[in-house]
């Protein structure tokens, strides 16, 4: 009985690293992200730190030099005043991912473009749609098949008087 338990433990210990390595070598994967979103500049005047959640589709292996990610994100910022109301920003972006120090390193940069929409939680204000850009840096965590990253988003003509909404989500993501 003890031999079979030891054999099962040995099998699991050997199996998990090979599963993790196989996921790194995948040509595509999908994942979930969550974290905090920090408003910047004009968005920060009326809104507090909020939350960020999203889904991602990655093309190209994580351990490769280049990759492409398609991200859909939801960001919500609480209001500092009653007149501002909460703000919800939805985004769909396409991004390039580049390993900073070659294929084996875990630090990467990412950036891209996408479509954004803001939905203010104030009567009389309508949603606004426009394009935006984003860029940031991340750290790959192979032990959990995930990453931590921070990205600066610049959503053009989102706020009143056509001012941009800028924010930085700091997220943790897991790829499957």
Burial bucket for residue 16 (CB in 10 Å: 0-12, 13-18, 19+): exposed
Average pLDDT over residues 26-55: 93
Beta carbons within 8 Å of 172's beta carbon, 6+ residues apart = 33, 34, 35, 146, 147, 148
Whether residue 110 is predicted with pLDDT greater than 60 in this model: the reply is: yes
Please, which residues bridge with residue 167 across strands?
Answer: 39, 153
The predicted-structure confidence for 78-97, as pLDDT tens digits, reads as follows: 999 877 789 999 999 999 99
Q: What is the CATH topology of the domain spanning 2-175?
A: Porin (2.40.160)
Domain ranges for the chain, please list them: 2-175
């Amino acid at each position: 009985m003890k031999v079979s338990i030891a054999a099962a433990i040995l099998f699991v210990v050997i199996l998990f690293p090979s599963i993790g390595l196989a996921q790194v070598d995948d040509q595509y994967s999908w994942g979930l992200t969550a974290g905090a979103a920090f408003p910047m500049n004009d968005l920060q005047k009326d809104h507090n730190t909020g939350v960020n959640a999203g889904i991602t589709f990655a093309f190209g292996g994580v351990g490769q030099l280049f990759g492409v990610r398609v991200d859909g994100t939801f960001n919500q910022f609480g209001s500092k005043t009653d007149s501002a109301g909460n703000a919800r920003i939805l985004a769909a972006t396409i991004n390039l991912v580049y390993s900073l120090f070659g294929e084996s390193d875990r630090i990467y940069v990412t950036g891209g473009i996408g479509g954004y929409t803001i939905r203010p939680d104030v009567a009389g204000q309508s949603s606004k749609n426009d394009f935006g850009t984003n860029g940031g840096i991340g750290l790959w965590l192979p032990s959990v098949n995930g990453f931590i990253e921070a990205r600066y988003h610049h959503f053009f003509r989102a706020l009143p008087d056509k001012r941009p909404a800028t924010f930085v989500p700091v997220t943790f993501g897991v790829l499957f």
